[in-house]
C-alpha cells in the first residue's frame, strides 16, 4: 500500500510543481487548474489510503491555500 500511496503522492507533487511554475509566470488560471488537479488526486486518495489520512489532510490544506492565493492574485 505504501508504494501505491507514494506514486499518488508523486503525482500530487508534480501537479503542485507545475502549478507553482505557472504561478511564477503570472498564469494564475492555469495554476489554479493544476492545483485543482492535485486536489482531485488527493480526494480520491482519501478513500483508499486511510492510514495516511493526516498526511493527506496536510497536503490538501496546502493545495487549497495555494488555490486561494491564486484567486487573490487573479482577481
pLDDT tens for each residue of 8-38:
999 999 999 999 999 999 999 999 999 999 9
pLDDT exceeds 80 at position 75: no
pLDDT of residue 50: 86
Least confident of 36-40, 46-50, 68-72: 46-50
pTM: 0.89
Position 40 confidence tier, pLDDT thresholds 50, 70, 90: very high
Give the residue from 62, 68, 69 showing the smallest Cα distance to 15: 62
Cα 4 to Cα 24: distance, rounded to the nearest angstrom: 31
Give the domains, in start order, of the chain with CATH numbers.
2-74 (1.20.58.80)
Amino acid at each position: 500500500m505504501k508504494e501505491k500511496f507514494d506514486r499518488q503522492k508523486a503525482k500530487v507533487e508534480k501537479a503542485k510543481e507545475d502549478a507553482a511554475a505557472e504561478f511564477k509566470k503570472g498564469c494564475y488560471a492555469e495554476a489554479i487548474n493544476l492545483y485543482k488537479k492535485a486536489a482531485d488526486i488527493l480526494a480520491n486518495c482519501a478513500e483508499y489510503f486511510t492510514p495516511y489520512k493526516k498526511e493527506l489532510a496536510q497536503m490538501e490544506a496546502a493545495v487549497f491555500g495555494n488555490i486561494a492565493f491564486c484567486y487573490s492574485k487573479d482577481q
